[in-house]
Amino acid sequence: MNTRRKMLIALGAGAIATPLSAFAHQLAKVWRVGLMHIGLEHVPPSLEGLREGLKAIGYTEGGNIQLDFRNLANRDAALETAREFVRDRFDLVVAFERQSIHAAHAVITTIPVVMLHISNPDLEGLIKSLSHPGGNMTGFAGVGEVPAKELELFKELYPRLARPMVIFRPTALSPSPNARNRTPGRSLNKSSTGPARCRPISTFRSPVRGSSISV
């Protein structure tokens, strides 16, 4: 398992473990966690890592935790599933992508909800701010202030860093005009930052330690 995957597993499991730890004194309790995702064509890749991360910090399926994963067709199904989680008094809900997160936000007010795979939850009205989300919603944002913080760290490690290249899919970003204030390049105190025009990625071969690989 590579270092990046280990870090993501630890962070993801930590986001879920934090609400659970608030009730850690109930050691004999079996925690019921509802997981929801819209998109029948696939299962979120982070699901398996989440299971591994929870196991690593002491939450084992069939033991002290029960995971109920629902792969759903559309938002209506997500809304109904969220209502079901509330009716059945689940301890925690994990929503894996934007539509299911919004469905959980619309229905669930008393159960902690962990958001995964969303770009700008504050700009979309899901939380008050990234530093102080408030309410019952918590989790991780895919972009926003996070790349800027990462870039600051790179700048500390490599002081001569001046022109980083960030590759992203523009359609994945929030349409809000406020999103431009989060351009990672601003961390380098540059006056001209912003997305550049990109060319399609082509396949080429590059020698690595006496061999060649396709990139």
What is the tens place of the pLDDT at every residue in 96-151?
Answer: 999 999 999 999 999 999 999 888 888 899 998 877 888 999 987 765 455 666 77
Average pLDDT over residues 12-24: 59
Tens digit of each residue's pLDDT (9 = 90 or more) over 26-60: 557 899 999 999 999 999 988 998 999 999 989 98
Q: Is residue 55 part of a domain?
A: yes
Q: Domain total for the chain? A: 1
Average pLDDT value for the chain: 75
Flag whether 213 is in a domain: no
Q: Are 85 and 93 in contact (CB under 8 A)?
A: yes
More confidently predicted of 72 and 184 = 72
Task: With respect to residue 175, please indicate whether it lies within any of the assigned structural domains.
Answer: no
Q: Is residue 120 part of a domain?
A: yes
Report yes or no on 45 lying in a domain: yes
* 14 assigned to some structural domain: yes
- Domain assignment present for residue 176? The answer is no
Least trusted range by pLDDT, from 67-71, 168-172, 188-192, 197-201 = 188-192
Question: Helix (H, G, I), strand (E, B), or coil: what is residue 195?
Answer: coil
> Would you say 130 and 145 are in contact if contact means Cβ atoms under 8 Å apart?
yes
Record the pTM. 0.60
3-state SS class at 161: coil
CATH number reported for the structural domain that contains residue 35 in this entry: 3.40.50.2300
Number of H-type helices and E-type strands within the chain: 5, 7
Q: Is residue 38 part of a domain?
A: yes
Q: Which amino acid is at 19?
A: P
Residue 68 lies in domain: 3-141
